[in-house]
Amino acid sequence: MSKKKTKSFPKGITKIQLTSLIKALFEKDPNRILNYRQISGHLNISDTAARAMINNVLNELSGTGYLKEVQKGRFKLKQKGGAYVIGTVDMTRQGYGFIITDDIEDDVFVSNRSLNTALHGDTVKVRLLLGRKGTRPEGEVVEILERARETFVGTIELMPQFAFLIPDTKGMPFDLFIPGDKLKGARQGEKAVARIIEWDKRQKNPIAEIVEVLGMPGENETEMHAILAEFELPLKFSEKVEAAAAAVPATISPEEIKKRRDFRNVPTFTVDPADAKDFDDALSLRRIDDTTWEVGVHIADVTHYVAEDTLLDKEATFRGTSVYLVDRVVPMLPEKLSNNVCSLNPHEDKLTYSAVFRMDESGKVSEEWFGRTIINSDQRFSYQEAQKIIDGGDGPMKDVVLTLHGIAQKLRGQRFDSGAFSFERTEVQFELDEKGYPLGIRFTQSGTANQLIEEFMLLANKRVAEFIGKKKGEKAKTFVYRIHDNPNPEKIASFSKFIRRFGYSLEGGNDGSLALSMNKLIREVNGKKEQNIIETLALRSMAKAVYSTNNIGHYGLSFK
C-alpha cells in the first residue's frame, strides 16, 4: 500500500515555508533518516528551484546543529540534549515558563528553578535537557539575551530597614527588594515604579530602586499613571520633539494649494465621538447630474507635515499609535499636530489625502480618483447629532447627511448579501467628575450614524487595495493589507455544539452561508441573557484579522 502524499505545494514556495515543512517532517519521526529526494517526495515538490532549495535548507539546518548528517546527503534530527535554542519567555502565574521559539516545533518547558532570573517576555538562550518524561521538550535558561523590561509597577510594603515592591505586573512572580536608601521617600501602601539594578541567580529576589512614587492606590491620577508606567507609555514628548512640532508651519502656502484638488467649496463634515479632541476623517458630497453623486472620503494628510526619517517620524514610529485611556489620550504626535494642524477642524483649510468616487444612489461606483486634496469642513457632528438627523430630526446639512446615509445603507446591504458578518458589540463608557472619579457607567451600541462613516471608510480602503494590488496590465505593487482568513472548521464545530445547549443552531460552510447563519444567530440572541457569552464566543471562533503583504481577502467583511 503506497504512502499517502501531502497536498502538492504551489510554485514560489519561500525558504521560510520550506524550512518549516522540513522541520515538521523530521520531528514527526525523530529517528527517520532522509535525503533531499525523499523529502521532495514526502512534500510532493517537483519544482526544480524548490528541490534545489531543499538541499540548501538541509545544509543550513545541519550547520546550526538542528540536523545531523549521518551519511553524505542523508540527514537525521539531532538528539536534543545539549542543543540550544533561542526564544521568548512566556511566564505563568505559577512561576514556571515556556520558551516560544522558531528553532523547534514545540514550546520548551522551563521550571521555575531553571529560569535563572528570566522573566516574562525576555529573549533567552536555552539548553535542551534529556531524559524527561512526556513529549514536550524541557530546558534550562543559560543566558538572558535581552530583558523585555527592567521597571515594574507595584505597591510598597515597608520593613524597618528596607522594603518590598509587590508587583502588579503579570508574569512577575517575585517581589522586588528595595534597600532603605533606594526608597525615594515612598511610604507604606503607596504605588511606585521600581527599576531592577541587580539580580544574581543565587538571590531569590531582585534588588531594585524606586524611580517614581505614584501615590495611593484607588486615586484616579495614581491609577492612570500606573497604567502608563506598566505599559511603558510615554506621556510627555522630549523637548527636541516638541521643538520640531512647534517648527511645523500652521499656514498653507498658495504653491501647495495649486498642487492639490480643491474641495473647499464642496459640502463637507466630520462625525466623531462627542468628547473627541481631534478629527482625522471627513466626508463630502456634491451632485454631478440627475443620477450621479460625487462622494469624497478625506483623511488628514499627516505625511505632508511628518516627513520620513525626521525626528517627528521616528517618535511616531516609536509610539506606534495613540493610546486612549478613560480620561486622557497618549498621542502619537505632539498636540500641535494631532489636535491642530492635522485635525480637520471645522471652518479651517486642511490638507487631506482623498478617495473620491462618482456613484449612483445604489452605491454603484462609475469613477474613482485617489490623491492629495484640500478641504474646509462645514460642520463637526457628534455621532448623537448625526443620528438625530438620520432619525428624522432637524440639523445642519440635513440633505447631505441623509443622502450619504442612504448610499451607506445600500453599500452595507450589499456586503451582507455577499456574506459579511455583523458583530455589533456593546461599548462601555464611564462617566467621570472633574477630578476623574467615576460617577456611573453607560452602555452604548453603534447606530446608523456610525455605519455612515464605517461604510465609506470600508469602500475607500477596499478600492485603494484593489487599485494598488490588482492594477490591470501592471505588476502588483507590494502593499500591506488587513486580511481575515476563513474560520477554522473545528472551532466552528465546537461553537455550534456549545450554542445547542441554549436551543440555537448554526449551519453552513465557508461559502457565505455560514455568515448568513451566524448573523441570524446574533439577531436571535439579541436581548437574551446569554447574548454576551454567545457573541463573545462567536468572535473567538473566527480567525484573527492580521496585516500581511499576501492579500487573501477579508472573510468577515466579505471582501475578496
User: Which pLDDT value is given to residue 260?
Assistant: 98
What is the average pLDDT across 312-321?
Answer: 94
Give the pLDDT confidence score for residue 133 in this predicted structure.
47
| Residue 184 zone, left/alpha/beta (φ > 0; ψ -120 to 50; rest) | left
Residues 6+ apart with CB under 8 A from 538: 423, 495, 518, 521, 522
Average confidence (pLDDT) over 381-402: 96
Question: The pTM is what?
Answer: 0.75
Q: Would you place residue 290 in the very low, low, confident or very high pLDDT band (cuts 50, 70, 90)?
A: very high
Q: How confident is the model at residue 225 (pLDDT cuts 50, 70, 90)?
A: very high
Which among 389, 428, 390, 421 is positioned nearest to 486, based on CA atoms? 421
The pLDDT score that the predictor gives to residue 6 is 43
Place of cell 445547549: 501
- Using DSSP's 3-state secondary structure scheme, residue 142 falls into strand
pLDDT tens readout for residues 469-506: 876 667 777 889 999 998 888 889 999 999 999 999 98
Does residue 227 have a pLDDT over 80? yes
pLDDT at position 509? 63
pLDDT exceeds cutoff 70 at 405: yes
70-105 tens-digit pLDDT = 888 888 887 655 678 899 999 887 888 999 988 777
pLDDT digits (tens, 9 = 90+) for 113-136: 889 889 999 999 998 886 554 567
* Burial of residue 253, with CB atoms counted within 10 A of its CB: 0-12 exposed, 13-18 middle, 19 or more buried: exposed
pLDDT on residue 2: 40
**Cross-strand partners of 127:** 84, 140
pLDDT reading at 248 higher than 60: yes
d(Cα 23, Cα 535) in Å, to the nearest integer? 38
Retrieve residue 282's grid coordinates.
Answer: 471627513
List pLDDT tens digits, range 138-156: 889 999 999 998 899 999 9
Q: Tell me: pLDDT of 160 over 50.
A: yes
Range 364-379 average pLDDT:
97
C-alpha grid cell for residue 182? 533606594
Domains of the chain: 15-77 (1.10.10), 84-146 (2.40.50.140), 151-230 (2.40.50.700), 241-454 (no CATH), 469-548 (no CATH)
Q: Chain-wide mean pLDDT for the chain?
A: 88
